[in-house]
Chain A
Amino acid sequence: MSPDAILAKLTDVFRDVLDEDGVVLSRGTTAKDVAGWDSLSHVRLVVAVEQEFGIRFDTAEISGLANVGEFVNVIARKLG
């Protein structure tokens, strides 16, 4: 899956989990840029991403997902 396709799918997950249809993500987007992306919703985002992409993050990866670009990179790596 291309990085752009991952980003598009990731955007859908964020919109669904955060209940915000207006969420627009770029690789540089951080939690500070998105209303509702806090530490608790981060966990829900992580698990929703796992389910959407059929992957599993380990603990170190979860804490390292500081921006959307990291999400895309780790997802791409796991999808091989």
Chain B
Amino acid sequence: MTFDRSRLRPFANLDKIVGALLEVWPEHADYCEARFRDDPPGFMTRSDELAGLVVKLAGGDLATYCQDYKWMCAEFLKEELYFRREGRYRLSTFKEAYDEVYNKADYMSRYVRGILLSQLIWTPHARAFDYFRTHFLPGNPPGTNHLEVGPGHGLFLYFASQDANIARLEAWDVSQSSIAASRHALQTLGVTRPISLIEQDVLAAPSRSEEFHSAIISEVLEHLERPDLALQTLRQALKPGGRLFINVPVNSPAPDHIYLWTGTGEFIDFVKGQGFEIETSQFLPMTGHSLERAVKHKLSISCIVIARKPQ
């Protein structure tokens, strides 16, 4: 298989990132071919906007981000080997993840840079942003009070900040350094409207009640020992009828994933079990695989769920 990059040419930011990545990692061409093969034009255009944000965040250091993405993929393969052999994630407690990943500054820096690039290069990541922009945000009423838990690289928060229906923005993170990183990212992306970035543990007893019309928790629950408590806190914080965008991968080993769901149905039942109704859901298989094949072989599938607190 050869990767015909000509279809990326009209999308300058995508072309720039993929070009830089293939300079560092030419063997990733087949993967990129599978990633961009079936993208419809509208999605390509929105992906190019996302790529523009990634380019801004990477600054003049795109090559380093590409090297760290390649390194991160190798780290994921180690976890994949353990997962396939043992049928579970290697780590199971937050302390283990803290000791092995979060508390190692150099490892964390590389991991965060790699993850940023994956937002564009991994199909489920890119499609999750798209679903958030095209299906979640337009469903919010004018004057929406919006909350994000674990804003990380700040990209979801950026898109929320651009939405006219959102009147107020707040984000929680358990780590001061993560909050500082998110704040810096939002400045880099040119977000000028006020956003409350608060140090708040979503696992702590619910501190807020019926304040938010909408919320998002993306790729956070699988990092927690008690994701049920996180959803219960969010349920309490949402107004009746409030909407929650959830993004969680199942069967998806990573250096800091500690909570395993083994199927999409199991995850939907989990969300319902925390008192939410399901508005819509999307199941996004890993790049290059159909959903049917991903289910059959227990491959990574991202569950995108728009849940609703009952009226």
Q: How many B residues touch the partner, as a band? A: 10 to 19
Question: A65 in the interface, Cβ–Cβ < 8 Å?
Answer: no
- A47 and B293 within 8 A (CB): no
Nearest opposing residue in chain A for B81, CB measure: A43
* A40 on the B face (CB < 8 A): yes
Q: Mark B281-300, 1 if CB is under 8 A from A, else 0.
A: 00000101000010011000
Q: Does A44 contact B (CB under 8 A)?
A: yes
Q: A62 with B297: in contact, given A38-B30, A38-B31 (CB under 8 Å)?
A: no
Given A43-B77, A44-B297: A50 touches B85 (CB 8 Å cut-off): yes
How far, in angstroms, from A55 to B286 measured CA to CA in the complex?
A: 29
| B80–A40 CB distance below 8 A | yes
**Chain A residues with Cβ under 8 A from B296's Cβ?**
19
B81 touches A62 (CB 8 A): yes
What is the count of residue pairs linking A and B with beta-carbon distances less than 8 angstroms?
28
A47 touches B84 (CB 8 A): yes
The reply to whether A46 and B81 contact each other, CB–CB distance below 8 Å, is: yes
List CB contacts (< 8 Å) of A26-75 with chain B: 35-36, 38-40, 43-44, 46-47, 50, 62
A13 beta carbon closer than 8 Å to chain B:
no
> Contacts of A6 on B, CB cut-off 8 Å?
none
Residue of B nearest to A39 (CB): B77
Cβ contacts A2-40/B at 8 Å (1 or 0 each): 000000000000000101000000000000000110111
Bound CA–CA A62/B296 (angstroms): 24
Chain A nearest Cβ from B297, distance in angstroms? 7
Chain A hits for B297, CB < 8 A? 17, 19, 44
Residue contact A47 to B77, C-beta cutoff 8 Å: no
Question: Contacts A19-B296, A39-B77 given: A47-B85 contact, CB under 8 Å?
Answer: yes
Shortest CB distance A78–B (Å): 16
* B80 & A43 in contact (Cβ 8 Å cutoff): yes
B81 contacts A47, C-beta separation under 8 Å: yes
19 A-B contacts (beta carbon < 8 Å): A17-B297, A19-B293, A19-B296, A19-B297, A35-B1, A36-B288, A38-B30, A39-B77, A40-B80, A40-B286, A43-B81, A43-B84, A44-B80, A44-B297, A46-B84, A47-B81, A47-B85, A50-B85, A62-B81
What 7 A-B pairs come out closest when comparing CB atoms? A47-B84, A43-B80, A43-B81, A47-B85, A19-B293, A43-B77, A44-B84
New contact pairs (12) apart from A47-B81, A47-B84, CB-CB < 8 Å: A17-B297, A19-B293, A38-B31, A40-B77, A43-B77, A43-B84, A44-B297, A46-B81, A46-B84, A47-B85, A50-B85, A62-B81
